Amino acid sequence: MKLKGVIFLLISSIAYSGFLIFNKLALNGGFEPFSFAFMMVTLLLIFSIPFYWKDRKKFKEMTKQEWLYVALIGVIASGIVHLMFIFGQKYTNATNAGFISTLSAPFTAIFAIFMIKERLSIKRWFLGLVGLLGIIVLASNLQFTSLTLGDWLIILAMVFVGFTNVLAKMATKRLSGLFINALRNLFGFVFIFLIAIFMGKVHSVSVAPVYWFYLAMSAILTYTFLAFFYWGIEHTSPTIATVICLSIAVFTSIFAIAFLGESLTIIQWIGGSIGILAIIGFVIIK
C-alpha cells in the first residue's frame, strides 16, 4: 500500500466529516432537503467543468463498459445516495451520520469479494472488525436506542456506496479518479434534475442568502472528499480504502464537539482511540 494513498484517504475522511457538519448546520436552520441536494449537485457539476475540458479527448476513448460504470456510479452515488443521505441527515445527528457512514467498509468488502475477487489476510479482517467495533462504541456510548428514519436511510445508502466503491476501482484501470469524479457529478446532476422536473420542483428550488455559505462549504468539502477518495482508490483496494475511512466517525465527533456543541464520554473516547489504533494497524500489517 502506498503512503500517498493513505494520506489521500485521510484527507478525504476529514473533508467528509466537515461536509457532515455543514450539512447539519444548514438542515437544522431550515434548509429544505431536496433544494439543498439539488443545489449541491449543481455546484458539484460547475466544479467539474474544468476537468471535462482538460480530459475532453478521453470521452472518445472510453469503452461502452466504462461509460456504464461511470453512469451507474453517478446515478447511484451522486443521485440516489445523495438524496437519501441529505434526507437522512435531516432526521439524525451528525455523530450518528458519521458512524453509520463507516458501514460502507463492510459492504464494500462484501461486494469486492464477489465483483473483483479481493482477498484480505486474517489479521486485516480482525483489525478491521476491531476498528468497526471501536467506532460503534464511539458513536453509541454503549446505549443502543431505536434507529430513526434518518439512520435507516443512511444505512441503506451505505449499501449502495459499497457497490459503487468497487465499481470505481474497476473504472480506475484506465480512467483517473478526478475524471471519474467529474463524470459522476454529471450523471448525478442529470438524475436529480429529472426528478425535480417529474416532481414539479424545478421552479421551487431556492436558497436563502443565509444558507449560501453552508451550501458552498458542503459542496467544496464534498468535491474534496470525492476527489481524494478516488485518488486513494487508485493507489489501494476499495476495501482497504473504506477501512481507512472509518476515521470519518472520529473526525466527525471532534468537529461535532467543536461546532455543534455535542460531547463525548470517557467510554466514547476509549472506543474512538481503539478504533483509530486498529485502523493504523490495518494499514501497517499485511
275 or 176, which is more confident = 176
CA atoms within 13 A on the CB side of 98: 33
Cell numbers that stand for 99 in this block: 458512524
pTM: 0.82
- For residue 235, what is the DSSP state? T
209 in Cβ contact with 29 (< 8 Å): no
C-alpha cell at 252: 466527525
Worst-scoring range by mean pLDDT, 1-5, 41-45, 117-121, 224-228? 1-5
pLDDT, average across residues 180-193: 95
Domain boundaries, the chain: 3-105+144-242
pLDDT in tens, 107-134: 888 888 889 887 777 887 787 788 777 7
Map 49-103 to HEC letters.
Answer: HHHHHHCCCHHHHCCHHHHHHHHHHHHHHHHHHHHHHHHHHHCCCHHHHHHHHCC
Calpha distance 122→119 (Å, rounded): 9
